[in-house]
C-alpha cells in the first residue's frame, strides 16, 4: 500500500517506569487476545497496533537493571536484542526519579546503537508544570534525543502525540502482521503469564520475581481445557506462602487464573497447579533454558 509505514519500536526503561501501563494504554486493551501463531520463536513482541496508515509493532523488554544473577543477565540480553533489531527506541522514564546508575546503563547502550531515540517522560500527573519543565530540561542535557515527550500513561495524557511522533520515525513499508493480530505471544506463553500475574497480584511483595511458571499439560476434551502448570520458586519459605494456610492461597490463585483463562480460551478450564522448589534456579543457565526464559534470544526478525 502506498504511504504505509510499519516498524518495530523497542520500549526500554528501568523497572517501574511504566512500560506495561503505557503499552496497555496505547493498545487500549490488555494484551491477552487469542491468536494462533505457530513458528514464532521471538516472544517479546508485546503489542501490534494497526491503523489505516501505520502498523506499530511494540517490542517489550524486561526492565533493564544491573545484572546480579544469571536470570538478570539473560533478561538484559533480551532487552538488548530487542534494541538492536528495532527501528525506533522508545525510552520510558519516570519523571519523579532522578537520573541514576540504571539510566546510565541504558544510555551507554543507546549511544552505541545509533538509532532514533524518543524519550518518553512518564508520570507527569505527579508534578506541577514548573517542576515538569525543570525535569525535562535536566533530561535534555543527558543526550541528544530525537524527541522528548512528556506524558501520563495512567491518565492517558499525550498518547496521541506519542503515536504521531513514533510514526514519523518508522520506515515506509507494508504491514508485517495481519490487521486482527494484536500480539505474537503464543497461547501457552500467555497461559503461563496469566498464572504468573495472579500469583504476583495475590502475594504482592512477598513473592518477588523469583517465580517461573511452566506449562506441563494442556488437553482439550469435551469443550473443556485441562491444564497442569508447575510453579517454580527458589526458597522453601516461598512455597509455604504460595500454598497458604490449608492451601487457601493456591486455591485463590487457581480460581482467579481459571476465570481469566476461561475468557481467554473461550471454554471451561480445569486447572491444576503444583509448586516446586528449585533452590537458586535463577543462577542456573540450564534451568533458565528449561523454563523457556531464554527463548527471546533466539528470535529472528
Ligand X SMILES: Nc1nc2c(ncn2[C@@H]2O[C@H](COP(=O)(O)OP(=O)(O)OP(=O)(O)O)[C@@H](O)[C@H]2O)c(=O)[nH]1
Per CB under 6 A, residues contacting ligand X are 13, 15-21, 63, 122-123, 125-126, 152-154
- Report the C-alpha gap between 43 and 230 in whole angstroms: 20
Handedness of CA 293, 294, 295, 297 (dihedral sign): positive
**Nearest approach, Cβ of residue 236 and ligand X (Å):** 26
The answer to whether the CB of 143 falls within 8 A of the CB of 117 is: yes
**CA pair distance 71, 251, nearest whole angstrom:** 28
CA–CA gap between residue 106 and residue 103 (Å, rounded): 5
d(CA 144, CA 147): 9
Angle between helices 70-85 and 101-113 (to 10 degrees): 40
The least distance separating ligand X from the CB of residue 191, rounded to whole angstroms, comes to 19
Candidates 177, 162, 161; CA nearest to 4 is 177
Taking the least distance from each CB to ligand X, the nearer of 52 and 204 is: 204
By beta-carbon proximity to ligand X, the closer residue of 122 and 257 is: 122
Task: Report the run of H or E that residue 120 belongs to, with start and end.
Answer: strand 117-122
The helix/strand/coil state of 3 is coil
CB of 26 to ligand X, least distance (A): 12
Q: How far is the CB of 25 from ligand X (least distance, A)?
A: 8
Residue (70 or 152) nearer to ligand X, CB = 152
Work out how close the CB of 162 gets to ligand X at its nearest, in angstroms, rounded to a whole number.
12
Q: Please identify, using beta-carbon distances, which residue of 126 and 224 lies nearer to ligand X.
A: 126
How far, in Å, CA of 275 to CA of 251, rounded? 12
Q: How far is the CB of 53 from ligand X (least distance, A)?
A: 27
Of the pair 17, 191, the CB lying nearest ligand X is at 17
Q: Residue 293 corresponds to which cell in the numbers above?
A: 526464559
Nearer to ligand X, 120 or 225 (CB): 120
Query: Smallest gap, in angstroms, from Cβ of residue 166 to ligand X?
Result: 17
H/E stretch holding 228 reads strand 224-233
Q: Which residues pair with 273 in a beta bridge?
A: 229
Rank residues 153 and 192 by Cβ distance to ligand X and give the closer one. 153
Comparing CA positions, the residue from 140, 148, 156, 93 lying closest to residue 116 is 148
Which residues have a Cβ under 8 Å from the Cβ of 112 and sit 6 or more positions away? none
Min CB(15)–ligand X separation in Å = 4
Which residue has cell 538509532? Answer: 115
Nearer to ligand X, 79 or 250 (CB): 79
Amino acid at each position: 500500500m502506498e504511504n504505509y509505514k510499519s516498524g518495530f519500536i523497542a520500549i526500554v526503561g528501568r523497572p517501574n517506569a511504566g512500560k506495561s501501563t503505557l503499552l496497555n494504554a496505547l493498545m487500549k486493551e490488555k494484551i491477552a487476545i487469542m491468536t494462533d501463531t505457530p513458528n514464532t520463536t521471538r516472544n517479546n513482541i508485546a503489542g501490534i497496533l494497526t491503523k489505516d496508515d501505520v502498523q506499530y509493532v511494540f517490542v517489550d523488554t524486561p526492565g533493564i537493571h544491573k545484572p546480579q544473577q544469571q536470570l538478570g543477565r539473560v533478561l538484559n540480553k533480551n532487552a538488548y536484542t530487542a534494541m538492536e533489531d528495532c527501528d525506533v527506541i522508545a525510552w520510558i522514564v519516570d519523571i519523579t526519579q532522578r537520573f541514576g546508575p540504571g539510566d546510565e546503563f541504558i544510555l551507554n547502550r543507546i549511544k552505541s546503537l545509533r538509532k532514533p531515540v524518543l524519550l518518553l517522560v512518564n508520570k507527569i500527573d505527579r508534578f506541577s508544570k514548573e517542576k515538569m519543565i525543570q525535569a525535562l530540561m535536566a533530561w535534555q542535557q543527558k543526550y541528544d534525543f530525537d524527541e522528548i515527550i512528556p506524558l501520563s500513561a495512567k491518565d492517558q495524557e499525550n498518547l496521541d502525540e506519542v503515536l504521531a511522533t513514533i510514526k514519523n520515525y518508522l520506515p515506509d513499508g507494508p504491514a508485517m502482521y495481519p490487521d486482527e493480530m494484536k500480539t505474537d505471544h503464543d497461547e501457552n506463553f500467555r497461559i503461563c503469564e496469566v498464572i504468573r500475574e495472579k500469583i504476583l497480584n495475590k502475594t504482592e511483595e512477598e513473592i518477588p520475581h523469583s517465580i517461573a511458571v511452566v506449562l506441563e499439560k494442556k488437553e482439550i476434551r469435551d469443550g473443556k481445557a485441562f491444564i497442569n502448570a508447575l510453579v517454580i520458586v527458589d526458597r522453601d519459605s516461598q512455597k509455604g506462602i504460595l500454598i497458604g494456610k490449608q492451601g487457601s492461597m493456591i486455591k485463590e490463585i487457581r480460581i482467579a487464573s481459571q476465570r481469566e483463562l476461561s475468557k481467554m480460551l473461550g471454554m471451561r478450564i480445569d486447572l491444576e497447579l503444583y509448586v516446586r522448589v528449585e533452590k537458586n534456579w535463577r543462577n542456573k543457565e540450564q534451568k533458565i533454558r528449561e523454563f523457556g526464559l531464554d527463548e527471546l534470544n533466539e528470535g529472528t526478525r
